[in-house]
Amino acid sequence: MNTELTDPRTGHPRGTAPVSREPEVAAAVAAARTALGTWSALTPKDRARRLDRLATLIEDSAAEYAARERAGTGRPDTETAGEIEQVADLFRFYATAARTRTAPAAGRLVTGHESWVRWEPMGVVGVIVPWNYPLMMAAWRCAPALAAGNTVVAKPAETTPDALELLAEHAAQTLGEGVLQSLPGDRRTGQLLVDSPVDMVAFTGSGRAGLDVAARAGTRRISLELGGNAPAVVLPDAPTDTYASLAEAATYNAGQSCAAPARVITLTENYESTVGRLTEAMGARLAGRDFGPLNNPDQVARYDALVASSSAKRVLAADIATPPGEEHGNWRAALVLADLPHDDPTVTEEVFGPLLTVQHADTVEAALGLANSVPQALAASVWTTDLGTGLDLAARLDAGEAWLNCHLVQTAELPHGGRGSSGHGTDLSTLALQEYQRPKTVTVRLMPGLRES
């Protein structure tokens, strides 16, 4: 069984990909279970060496990864090149992090006994990743899981199987057969993977799908990243580069980023100037030249429906610079919506497109209330030259990640994760290792004369 793949830049077919069902899922999980004994028994140093070789192979194959990312997402090389470097860096980071982890207290904590804590892998981890960052989201999940001693069966999105397939091939060469496998398919494939005897599920995707994963996983551990709807609080004394920076972040990957700025919130006194400056900055960002298309027809239909349902009195659109031969792709212009109610669908729902809404409030406290008024709580930013005010607002924003005078700035050392309907769990940083491990306390009674044989 195969599914037809479409080029999002042209709307034309670009090939097919297999759709895995019960036999393929069962075989992949069984292979991961077989590989688990050998992989988990390696010392952190030996796993690190293999993960480092995988990182080198990713770097050496950067052009092929970029071509596969472009085929599936339509994104320009200017966006994907840096991300491939980040993917290689993630595998190297976790290779080292797994060797330097800390543990809870150990020692003679109970009279006559010696105790310590072992961190053990969860086992076989089922990973399900979305289509917006096919390679990078896979690395966010797979790198810490592998470094912690787990084996992984990873399902890419139906429209973007390309890069993960190559990653699995390279993992087989460097880590060993069955340690990291790609399981192409559709939504039903993901459900079958969750229903299979994996020990843990790490899922990145929509809130509705995340609830289904949670119900199917039962008592097994899950890690969920379920999208965002990030506010950007722009105060009257915001830096002059605020508007260009927000426009660039809002259109990066055509706005198809869970942490992208979506809701600009100002004070009443700087509302009109912010609308004008954002319109100018977004107008300079052209789809087809500066950023790619929406990924697939379903996302196009969802995005168009949300925009059509908006009550915004001002709809300010940029131009589209479609390359020759790509006129029928999933291109959508950068858009600013202003003069809209606080309960507008484009405010309360994650739009996932190159769009910024602009709201205003009379006071800083009221602006903070608007920022925290939606159920999603993944990321947020504050823009002001008053450091004290900015730090205070960043601390009070309901978000797993907050930026001051920047947005979408991330690195392997810093954690990323959501709250509320944005899910739970941690990606990135050494904290992510704990997602994929379980502690075991070992206590030994010290007996006189007891010795090793």
Identity (one letter) of the amino acid at 127?
Answer: V
Q: What is the DSSP letter of 368?
A: H
Burial of residue 100 (CB within 10 Å: 0-12, 13-18, 19+) is exposed
Return the ∠ at Cα 252 (arms to 381 and 166), rounded to 5°: 120
- Dihedral sign from CA coordinates of 74, 79, 85, 88: negative
Q: Is 142 annotated as catalytic?
A: no
SS3 273: helix
Which of 24, 69, 225, 435 is catalytic? The answer is: 225
C-alpha 232/C-alpha 4 separation (Å) is 38
The one catalytic residue among 258, 326, 350, 435:
258
Q: Which structure tokens are listed for 213?
A: 């994963």
Q: Residue 258 catalytic?
A: yes
Write b or e for each residue in 314-328: b if 16 or more Cβ atoms lie within 10 A of its Cβ, otherwise e: eebbbebebeeebee
Residues 6+ away with beta carbon under 8 Å from 315: 307, 335, 336, 337
Q: What contacts 259, CB < 8 A, 6 or more positions away? A: 228, 230, 378, 379, 401, 407, 408, 410, 416
Kind of pairing, strands 379-383 and 335-338?
A: unpaired
The stretches of 7-76 forming alpha helices (DSSP H) are 22-41, 44-60, 62-73
Q: Helices in 252-362 by DSSP H: which ranges?
A: 271-283, 297-309, 345-348
Distance CA 403, CA 391 (A): 9
Contact (Cβ atoms closer than 8 angstroms) between residue 154 and residue 138: yes
> 365-370, long-range: CB within 8 Å, 24+ apart, which pairs?
367/233, 367/235, 367/265, 367/266, 367/267, 368/233, 368/393, 368/396, 368/397, 370/231, 370/263, 370/265, 370/342
What amino acid positions are annotated as catalytic residues?
Answer: 225, 258
